[in-house]
Amino acid sequence: MTTRILFILIITCFLGTGCNLINPKEDIPTYVHIDSFTFTSANPGLTGTSRQDINSVFAYLDGEPLGVYELPADIPVLINGTKELQLAPGVNEQGLNDFKLSYPLFAFYNTNITADPGKTITVNPETKYIDDLKYWRTDFESGNTFQKLSGDTSVRSVSGADSVFEGGESGGIFLNANTYKNAEAFTDISIFPGQNGYLEFHYKSTLSFAVGMLAALPDGSIQPVYLAGVKPKGEWNKFYLNISQFTSAYPNAQKFAVILRTELENGQTDGYVLLDNIKVISY
């Protein structure tokens, strides 16, 4: 009799708790909502435009990665108590949506969050350029530094609301089937061999174009290398390009330049490339 009662008690206990053993209670996350990053500059005369294209966030909790999220984002965070949330601004490397880059020139945003399961915490992150960077830039407001490298034409200064991203001037290449069918231009920049750096610029175009770097060598020769292709965009976009490998590849270079090349493609009778806020930032 005792054995039978014990057996019944075991079965009853199992039936009463079996669902929890098969489907254990799941932790409820706290959600962090991020709409966008605010970019600021204490010295825009040095750093140039504050208009960036931060479209993703690399999130960390106490230094451990949570993932990469498109903005705006709602990030589920399993947390007990209070922990530090670190947010790194992300951009599209070379304009490619599938290549998210935790941009090393932008500062992390750090804040503490406290667990509130099932609830949403809104965070409004800010960022800026990190300290100790070197800047070369042209926004065409004080003139045009581009020169023709080859081809039929070069970059020229333009004005007008339809042609300028911000300010009063931008740079433009304009092609047509009769006179200007292609263009290749360069502008000298300030960066030293072996320095890490990024090229940033705003653009709008009906033409595809290539962007790259040129090294002037001690023997008087030049070495132009195109690093990325840029597809036409009907609205202004921001482009980010890592130039560190190029400057490291030419340790004896006497100077460097940014180069651009474009041409009419099959079926095109005219087209343009508009450029603004060109920066080379090194460290």
pLDDT one-digit tens code per residue, 150-203: 999 999 999 999 999 999 999 999 999 999 999 999 999 999 999 999 999 999
For residue 126, pLDDT over 50 is answered with: yes
Q: Which residue in this structure is represented by tokens 């993932």? A: 67
Three-state secondary-structure class, residue 9:
helix
Domain layout of the chain by residue ranges: 30-127, 134-282
Q: Which two tokens stand for residue 198?
A: 């990024």
For the chain, the straight-line distance linking the first and the last C-alpha, in angstroms and rounded, comes to 83
Q: Which two tokens stand for residue 274?
A: 């508009």
Q: Which residue in this structure is represented by tokens 């070069």? A: 154
Same fold for the pair 30-127 and 134-282 = no
In angstroms, rounded to a whole number, what is the distance separating the alpha carbons of residues 99 and 56? Answer: 11
Of the candidates 269, 263, 271, 246, which has an alpha carbon nearest to the alpha carbon of residue 184? 263
Which pTM does this prediction carry?
Answer: 0.89
Any idea which fold 30-127 has? Immunoglobulin-like (2.60.40)
In angstroms, rounded to a whole number, what is the distance separating the alpha carbons of residues 43 and 9? Answer: 76
In angstroms, rounded to a whole number, what is the distance separating the alpha carbons of residues 213 and 156? Answer: 19
The model's pLDDT over 235-275, given as tens digits with 9 standing for 90+, comes to 999 999 999 999 999 999 999 999 999 999 999 999 999 99
> In CATH, what is the architecture of 134-282?
Sandwich (2.60)
**8 Å CB contact between 250 and 212:** no
Determine if the peptide bond prior to 24 is cis (ω within 30°).
no
The CA distances from residue 156 to 137, 151, 279, in Å, are: 16, 14, 17
**8 Å CB contact between 36 and 71:** yes
